[in-house]
Each structure stands twice: as C-alpha cells, then as structure tokens.
Structure 1
Amino acid sequence: MKGTDRSPVLRKHVSIIHSDTSRSKWGLVQRKVVNSLLLRARETIIEAIGSSDKERLDEYLEKTKGQEINYEIPLHRLKKDIHFDSNDHSLIKEALFGLATSAIEYNIINSRGVKEWAVMPILSYGKLVDGKIYFRFPSELREELLYPSVYANIDLAIQNSFISTQSLALYENVYRFINVGETPIFPVDTLKRLLGIDTSSYVEFKAFNTKVIKKAVKEINHQSNIEIFEVELKRTGRKVSGIRFKIKPNAAYKVLEDTDTTIEMSEYEYALHELGITKKQSQRIFDRLSIAELEERINAIQTTLRQRSDIDNPAAYAWTVLNAEETPSSPQTRTSVSKPPTESKLIIDGKLPFEEIERRASDELMLKLKDMYVSTMSSKRTAKDKELHAIAVSGQWDDDALYNSFASYVESTMYIRRDLMKHLTD
C-alpha cells in the first residue's frame, strides 16, 4: 500500500483495542465506525476548549465527569472516514444498532497485573436524522476513551485498506507493541475473542491458523505500516496453547513527510515512564527482556514501591531491578520489609547516565569496564548474549545493540562498585 493523502489518525485507548467482541459479533463496518466516532468525539472536545493541551483536556473531562454528553458527525464525514461509497445506509444503521445494543468485555488482558473487567455497549445512544449521526458514549467509558493515557494511533487510511474483520482486529492488537518488537503470548482462546471469534469455532488449531491467522498476517504485511515477520507458537505438550507475534516497521510502506502517523507509547512504555525510566533507557530494556520478563519486573517494582517507604529514588531502584540478572522476589515472599542493606542503599540512592560516565571516565577506566563486560558476557548462555560477546571481542563498540547493552552494564556496575566511582573526574 502507498500513502497518498494525509489521513486522520485516531488515538484509541487500549481497553477498546483489547476487548472481547466475540459475543457481539462486530463486523468490519462496526470496527471502522467505532474508530470514526471516537475520532470525531475527541475533535469535538478540542474544538470546545480550543486546545489539545493535556492539562486543558484533563480539566474539561474532570469537570464533565459522569455527564451524558451527545456528539454528532455528518453522515458524509463518517462515510468518508470508513470509505463507504454506497447510498444504502442500512449497513451503517445496523452497525450503530449493534454498537448500542451489544455488550462487549473490556480489558480482558491487563499487562500491569491489575485484574479489571467491565461489560457494556460502547454506545449508549445513536440516531441518524437529516444527514447527521448523533451518538453518546457511556459516562463510565467517556473519560478514558476521549483522553486516554495509554493508546495506539490508528491511521484511518490504513484501517480502510483491510477487507477482513480479523485482519483489522489483529492489526490493532499488535500495532501498539511496535516499539517493543513483540506481543505478549496470547492464549489461543483469548486471541479468538480479541478477533471477534467465538471460542467454540476452529476447534482444531490448524484450521484457526490456516483460515484466520495466516490470512490476517498476509493482509497486514501487504496493506499496513507494520510487518509481522514471525508467528511464534507456544505449546503445552503437543497442543498449541499460545501465540506471540514478532513485529517491525514495514519498510515497503511509504509514509508521507506531513503525515500525523506516529508510534505512541504501549502500556509497557507508559509503565516505565511512570517509574521514571527515560525513553532511551526503555529501549535498552526492550532489547534485553522478553515481554513476559518485562511484565514480571514491572509488577514486582510497582508492588515493592507501594509497600515500602524507604526507597528514596524509585527511578534508580526500578532501573536496577530491570537490569538485574534475575527478577527479585516480591515483598510478600520476604520475612520482613526492613530497610535495605547497604549495597541496595548505594544502588538506589543515585545513578549517573552512561553518557555522563563516559564523559568523566579516563581511557584506562573505559578499557577496564570493557574488559569486565567481555568477561561477564563470556559466561552468558543466550544466543543474543553470545552474539554481543562476539561483537565486543571483535572491537565493534559502535554497534547499536552492543552500545546499549554495554551502557546498561556500565550504569549498573558503577552504582554497585563505589571503588570505580571514585575514578571519575569532575
């Protein structure tokens, strides 16, 4: 697909992307209509307050919290948004009827470890009259939908290139992990529900894989700005129990310079941001940890910070845990939550970014750190670590992956080894 015109981009909350539509039987038109209505409602708020500033939006949504607020969109605008060129509007009416009468489940996956569940239709009201559509979201959802803190950007031009409901649903569910490079492992039944398929369908995984997954992946790779380059199957015994999708930007997709399409935070990046981890540091973590390991460590950090008041520098503590060789046990498994030992206190009390360490370190210290890194990596067993070790031994220290890994190692080592810190110049 080639980008030809600038197209609207929707910020869509992950609780809607990650929702179970299998019982409501959402079709392709309904999915596209939802995106158009969400986009128009958010535009209406921005027009009303005259700004897209986060604080202004927060103030408006807090002020109108719990209120039933109607929105409207010209029928011709909605038809343009979803590339609907027929004068038979029965499909649009059916889509609105289904959205207002069929309940869907929200947040059936919550990567922050919080068990949340809600069920309701996405529209509480819809009407088509005089060339306009009037609609309303349930007040319980409105604040989240219209100024989400965690969202994916959905380009309406890309959504309209899909001809399969499952392809669009899969695209929305994997696209938000583009910065991480892979999705979590979706249990097979969960993936079916996210794609709007009843769990009793495709009893044999082979049929589900052939008729749904492979077709959707092919369409996504051909029509969108991302490429699913590997579908990893997880097995329990001989049975496929889960699926992970590995993704990257689609080099064949042309993006115009003036497009609004951007890649926003996934919930993982947002959680790290809330912990004080910078974007550059986050990327290093994504390079190092799998999604499962990242989820486990984020949950452990959040639990510890909620239960302990003696951690003076949460960002430094989080950085240390994220870079540790093993995930620390949660506070519940400890016999006490006493003040951390001296070594831990040194780790969390302060840290220098690698760029500052590199600036202040002598050539001799940097050589020593590189020798220490090579020695440490020589004992690693994963294929990725072995590859980094080989690159380091060959002296290619300007390699991006090696640079990120070495930087993380140096930062952690310098916090622990105070004898090394004293060799830094002011």
Structure 2
Amino acid sequence: MSLLPAGAQTPAEAEAPSALLAPAMPGGTRRAPARRSAAAGLPARADAGQELLRKPVNALAIVPQSKKITPLFRKSYNVMLHLAQEQGMERDIFRAPISAVLAGLDFDSNDTGLVKRHLRAMATTAVEWQSPTTGEGASWAISGLIGHAEIKREGGQNWLEWSYSVRLKQELLEPSVFARLSLEMIAQLRSHGAIALYEICSRYRDVGRTSRQAWSWWRPVLSGKPETDKQKQLEYRFFKRDVIKRAIDEVNAITDIEVELLEYKAGRFIADLQFSVRRKQQVPLPLVPPGSAPQPLDLTQVVRATALGVDEERAEQCLHEFGEAPLKAALDVLERRVASAFPQPLRDPQRYLRAVLEGARGGPDETPAAHGPGHDADAAGRADLALREVEAKRRVKWTEEWLRRRRDGLADEIAAMGEEAQQALCDSLLADMAARNVHPSIRKRLQTSGWQHAMVLHEMLRFYANASIGEQWDQPSAQQLLDVAAQLGDTAESAGLSAG
C-alpha cells in the first residue's frame, strides 16, 4: 500500500499522562513507559484496570477529505495505535497477528478482502488532523492515518505489519497532549458519532465541558463524512436528530461519562455547540480481566453475512446500525431461507436481511443503548416475529394490487358488451339486489345513473364475477401474487409464497 506524505505537527500544550497498564505482546513488544507513577502523588483513577489508549488530541477531531470513516475503521485504528504504543518508538515497523486486531476472519478463504479494504482506506484516505480545542496544536496537518500496511503469513498465522508517517510517529506513539480512552467502552459503541463524541469528551472529563465550536465544525467530526456540497446543505435539526442525539444516548448509556448538549444561538438560529462532561458516580466494570490485551473487533457476523450473499459493506453497516446480537438473529432467519430455496431461490439476500432487522428493531427512534442483555437474548424470536409481520404486509399490498387489476378487467369486459347485453345484465342485477334487500337508494341509482355509478359499480362487478368466474373470483393464487410482486419490482420471495 502506498506511503503518503504527512505534515508535521507538535502540540504546544503539555499534559502529564498516567501509566498505561498493559502486558507485553508476542513478538518482542513491550510496555509503554509510564511518565509519572502513582508514587508521584497522582490520585487513583476510576478507570484503573481498563485498557487505556493515549490518543493525541490532534487525532480526536479528524475530518476525512474524500471517504467516510466507518465505526469499524475508527475502532480498528485505535487498536492498532494501542498495539504500536505498546511496542514503542524504537520500531519503524509495527506488527501483530491479524486476529489481535480483527477477530472472526478465516484467512484461508476470501475474508482478506474485508481487512484489506480497511487497511487500504487507512493508508489512502486523507484526513485533516485537528484538536477539538482551537489553537491547542502547534501546527495543522493532513495525511493518511497510517503510512503503509502489509499482510504476511508466517508459521501458519497471518500477521499484520504497518507503519506511521515519520513526521507523525513521535506524536502518535508518545503524545504530549492526549486523551485517555477505554478501548473496552469504545468496542461497545456502534455509531461513528458516539465513538468520536466519547473520544473528544474524554479529553475534557476533568474540565467539565468541551470547547465551543460552530455547529458546522462538529458536522464532519461526528458524522465521519467529508464536507461535500450536499453535507454543507444539511440543516442543523437533521444533524441533531440523526447524529448528535444518537451519539449522546449511546455515550451516556455505555461509557463512564455523561454528556449534555449545549446550544448557542446567533439571532434565531443555532450557531455554536458545546458539550458538558461529567464522570458517572458508578463506573462500569471492565469487560475483560485487568491487564489483558485489548479485545480484537469481532467480524464473525460480517463474514457470515457475506457468505450468505450480502455485500460486505452492507453487512458492516448492518452490524454498526443494529448491533451484533440482532444481526446474528436475523442471519439465522436468512440462513434458513437460503437453505430452503422455497418456493424459489432467494434473489435479494441484502433486502431480505434488512427487512428482518428493521422489523425486529421495533421503531425508528430506538437506540442500541435502550436495551439490556435480555433484549439481545430474544433477538432471534423478535426477528422471526418481525419477518412474519413483513410477510403479512407485503401479501396485503400485493393482494390489493391484484384485486384492483381484476376489477378493472371486469369493468372493461362489461363495457365492451353491447347495449342490449348491458341492459339485460342491469335487469338481472336489479332483481338480485331486490332479493337481497339491498338499500332502495342503490337500486334507484342503478335505474337512473347506470351500473358505472360509484354507488353501484362494486355490486355489478361482484354479480358479474360470481356468474362468469365463480365465488372465488376475488381470491388470488400464490402464483398470481408472485406475478404481481415481480411486476412491482418487489421481492416476492420475502413473503415466502408458494407457487404450487
């Protein structure tokens, strides 16, 4: 992969970091040196025992210049940076088993495409490096996140090697101004907005609030999207609803800090944003034993989805949007449908999977943090129920369309008859309505306005269809619904219809 040039940056402000508690890594890695010990008078921290990343402030509010930064992109970069800090400044090339960064990949198959795509993006996607505090960094820079990456197979195991730009390496590995970040907590966050907000707010947890910036400054930082013309036209209310609110809900529910949005107006409109930050009274316990290595990102469900015919990027998007347990449950449903191939092979696994996940979520305003472990435990049952609801709705839509077409066809047949035949049919209908005690106003309307009047048309179509087709005239077969679905461009197989 290409090595990109990087601009120099050296933050001017110094902040004393705490010791980084981490074990030695295989292959000659070592502990990052502690710059100040507990004996120096530092108070004990609530996050002691958790795996901490010392992330430079200029790497907190990065802005992509061409491609979107995904949650997996940012999480895997954090793990790689932590491993590099462990291995130390003396190295030019850093290395680790790929399984230490990304779990769930079978590298004897085609899964390398997924990790290669992310490594390529890290090396080639230019990002603007900036601190969330204006003027905190001594200089501005734009570069790729890593200098190069290479995958090697040694002794039956796949290893990842990577490097950083020479001008960025010092600040990345031994930062003078940084935020202490819990990799365990970051691993639980789903959206890019939540990850970026947690990283930035962690920098200010002892200050109480972030710096105040224009809301347009926050837009690319939290969304992870480049500032295109389309992005610049995005209204604040949509950015708040779709990015900020979800990010705050996730951070407050999962991490050890609580964040609140502060808005500042210029006239009638929101101009600047700031976030208040405070530590929680009860800090979540580490999810892994103290002193253990950072947990790799588990891509098992993404790999499984691609094997079932789902596009790699779409599968990753579903993982971040819905979470691992709901995705696993929905893939169970998809797997059963693919295996059955009934009534015909599944044509659109991506759309089928999305329909199951949307139904299982229960509502557009639900956030991942709103549910506990019990919610994830019944994800399979919810997914099955949601699929049945989706099937029922589609059957209703197709049936309504089929009935509309059948009624139009019947009306055309009657209209094509001669006047005498139509009159005879109207006389027969009038006698039938009298025998059934149909309301006199409808019978009178038939005599004065004819069978095409809105009050009479449905009676005429029913009467004619029963006589010419039979009493089952308004009940479509499975094959007829499949034909309608195909003409509508819908996925007929999603309703599990049998053509037999």
Q: Normalised by the size of structure 1, how large is the TM-score?
A: 0.51
Aligned to 2:196: 169
Q: C-alpha root-mean-square deviation of aligned residues, in Å?
A: 2.8
- Tell me, what secondary structure is at the counterpart of 1:31? helix
Summarize deviations over 1:89-136 as a string: whole Å, max 9, x none. Answer: 433211100000111111265544666311110211101121100101
Gaps of 5+ in 2: 1-45, 293-500
Q: What amino acid does structure 2 have at the position aligned with 1:167?
A: A
Determine the C-alpha separation between the residues in 2 that align with 1:153 and 1:120: 23
- Tell me, what secondary structure is at the counterpart of 2:101? helix
> Is the Cα contact below 8 Å between 2:85 and 2:173 reproduced in 1?
yes
Aligned to 1:105: 128
Mark the CA change 1:165 to 1:234 in structure 2 (over 3 Å): closer, same or farther.
Answer: same
> Is the Cα contact below 8 Å between 1:9 and 1:260 reproduced in 2?
no
Determine the C-alpha separation between the residues in 2 that align with 1:198 and 1:171: 20
Determine the C-alpha separation between the residues in 2 that align with 1:129 and 1:188: 44
Determine the C-alpha separation between the residues in 2 that align with 1:251 and 1:165: 26
Aligned to 1:234: 264
- Confirm or deny that 1:197 pairs with 2:225: yes
> Is the Cα contact below 8 Å between 2:50 and 2:286 reproduced in 1?
no
Determine the C-alpha separation between the residues in 1 that align with 2:48 and 2:211: 33
> Is the Cα contact below 8 Å between 1:9 and 1:155 reproduced in 2?
yes
Q: Counterparts in 2 of 1:30-179, with a 5 A limit?
A: 30-45=73-88, 69-79=92-102, 84-87=103-106, 88-107=111-130, 109-112=132-135, 116-130=139-153, 131-179=158-206
- Confirm or deny that 1:244 pairs with 2:287: no
Q: CA deviation at 1:43?
A: 1.0
Mark the CA change 1:224 to 1:260 in structure 2 (over 3 Å): closer, same or farther.
Answer: farther
Q: What amino acid does structure 1 have at the position aligned with 2:213?
A: F
Aligned to 2:66: 23
Task: Single out whichever of 85-94 and 210-219 deviates more from structure 2.
Answer: 85-94
Determine the C-alpha separation between the residues in 2 that align with 1:108 and 1:138: 19
- Confirm or deny that 1:183 pairs with 2:226: no
- Confirm or deny that 1:212 pairs with 2:231: no
- Work out the number of aligned pairs and report it: 234
Q: What amino acid does structure 1 have at the position aligned with 2:265?
A: R
Determine the C-alpha separation between the residues in 2 that align with 1:252 and 1:90: 41
> Is the Cα contact below 8 Å between 1:192 and 1:198 reproduced in 2?
no
> Is the Cα contact below 8 Å between 1:29 and 1:92 reproduced in 2?
no
- Tell me, what secondary structure is at the counterpart of 2:242? helix
Q: What amino acid does structure 2 have at the position aligned with 1:197?
A: K
Mark the CA change 1:89 to 1:72 in structure 2 (over 3 Å): closer, same or farther.
Answer: same
Mark the CA change 1:110 to 1:225 in structure 2 (over 3 Å): closer, same or farther.
Answer: closer
Q: What amino acid does structure 1 have at the position aligned with 2:250?
A: E
- Tell me, what secondary structure is at the counterpart of 1:23? coil
Determine the C-alpha separation between the residues in 2 that align with 1:151 and 1:203: 31
Q: What amino acid does structure 2 have at the position aligned with 1:244?
A: Q
Determine the C-alpha separation between the residues in 2 that align with 1:179 and 1:101: 35
> Is the Cα contact below 8 Å between 2:57 and 2:132 reproduced in 1?
no
Q: CA deviation at 1:38?
A: 1.0
Q: CA deviation at 1:253?
A: 3.4
Q: CA deviation at 1:7?
A: 4.6
Determine the C-alpha separation between the residues in 2 that align with 1:110 and 1:232: 16
Mark the CA change 1:152 to 1:114 in structure 2 (over 3 Å): closer, same or farther.
Answer: closer
> Is the Cα contact below 8 Å between 1:73 and 1:132 reproduced in 2?
yes
Determine the C-alpha separation between the residues in 1 that align with 2:264 and 2:114: 39
Aligned to 1:10: 53
Q: CA deviation at 1:256?
A: 5.5
Q: What amino acid does structure 2 have at the position aligned with 1:147?
A: E
Aligned to 2:32: none
Task: Single out whichever of 179-188 and 110-119 deviates more from structure 2.
Answer: 110-119
Q: What amino acid does structure 2 have at the position aligned with 1:90?
A: G
Aligned to 1:254: 284
Q: CA deviation at 1:211?
A: 0.7
> Is the Cα contact below 8 Å between 1:110 and 1:116 reproduced in 2?
no
Determine the C-alpha separation between the residues in 2 that align with 1:76 and 1:101: 23
- Tell me, what secondary structure is at the counterpart of 1:24? coil
Q: Counterparts in 2 of 1:400-411, with a 5 A limit?
A: none
Aligned to 2:404: none
Aligned to 1:342: none
> Is the Cα contact below 8 Å between 1:108 and 1:116 reproduced in 2?
no
Q: CA deviation at 1:173?
A: 1.2
Summarize deviations over 1:191-228 as a string: whole Å, max 9, x none. Answer: 11212134442621111101110011001111111111
Determine the C-alpha separation between the residues in 2 that align with 1:23 and 1:182: 30
Summarize deviations over 1:3-57 as a string: whole Å, max 9, x none. Answer: 9995522111111112212533111111011111111111111xxxxxxxxxxxx
Determine the C-alpha separation between the residues in 2 that align with 1:28 and 1:172: 13
Q: CA deviation at 1:252?
A: 4.4
Q: What amino acid does structure 2 have at the position aligned with 1:227?
A: E
Determine the C-alpha separation between the residues in 2 that align with 1:86 and 1:244: 40
Mark the CA change 1:244 to 1:22 in structure 2 (over 3 Å): closer, same or farther.
Answer: farther
Q: Normalised by the size of structure 2, how large is the TM-score?
A: 0.44
- Tell me, what secondary structure is at the counterpart of 1:160? helix
Q: Counterparts in 2 of 1:391-406, with a 5 A limit?
A: none
Determine the C-alpha separation between the residues in 1 that align with 2:50 and 2:133: 30
- Tell me, what secondary structure is at the counterpart of 2:283? coil
Determine the C-alpha separation between the residues in 1 that align with 2:98 and 2:184: 18
Mark the CA change 1:222 to 1:13 in structure 2 (over 3 Å): closer, same or farther.
Answer: same
